């Protein structure tokens, strides 16, 4: 039913719950997981620092996949988490997106809007939202 499950992650506790859900579902469905980390183009930290953080986050998903026998592909890009999710979903060939309802965005979320809410409106495949609790 779902061959490729995409899971956007920022490494937060909320995202880790979505990662675990995507991996468990992939295990049951014999699917591939595509872990995605988007380096927000609006951030002002040095790119190298953000890139290393992103690689580390994706590597942890990869390790969790290996532990349970699920293939995990990784995508690390610079872009807008709010605006680019639909394009990334298409390029990844995902037929399901599993994502958390919250991330590291804090005050920025109140100003710019929820990434999850935007994803629900723009992503053309089913989206499973995972709550932390």
Q: Are 75 and 36 contacting, i.e. CB atoms less than 8 angstroms apart? A: yes
Query: Phi, psi at residue 11, to the nearest 5°?
Result: 85, -5
Q: What is the DSSP letter of 3?
A: S
Query: Phi, psi at residue 23, to the nearest 5°?
Result: -65, -40
What pLDDT does residue 116 have?
75
Using one digit for the tens of pLDDT, what is the confidence trace for 16-61?
A: 999 999 999 999 999 999 999 999 888 888 889 999 999 999 999 9
Using one digit for the tens of pLDDT, what is the confidence trace for 85-111?
A: 899 999 999 999 999 887 555 554 444
What pLDDT does residue 119 have?
79
Domains of the chain: 4-130 (3.40.50.620)
What pLDDT does residue 17 have?
95
- Alpha carbon of 107 to those of 50, 71, 90, 112: distances in Å? 20, 35, 29, 9
Residue with tokens 């953000």: 50
What pLDDT does residue 97 have?
96
């Amino acid at each position: 039913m779902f061959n490729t499950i995409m899971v956007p992650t920022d490494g937060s506790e909320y995202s880790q719950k979505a990662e675990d859900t995507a991996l468990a579902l992939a295990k049951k469905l014999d699917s591939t997981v595509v872990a995605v980390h988007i380096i927000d183009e609006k951030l002002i930290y040095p790119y190298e620092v953000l890139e290393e953080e992103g690689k580390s986050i994706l590597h942890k998903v990869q390790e969790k996949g290996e532990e349970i026998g699920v293939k995990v592909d990784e995508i690390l890009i610079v872009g807008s988490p709010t605006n680019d999710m639909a394009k990334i979903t298409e390029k990844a060939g995902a037929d399901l997106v599993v994502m958390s309802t919250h991330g590291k965005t804090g005050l920025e979320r109140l100003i710019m809007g929820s990434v999850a809410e935007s994803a629900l409106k723009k992503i053309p495949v089913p989206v499973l939202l995972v709550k932390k609790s």
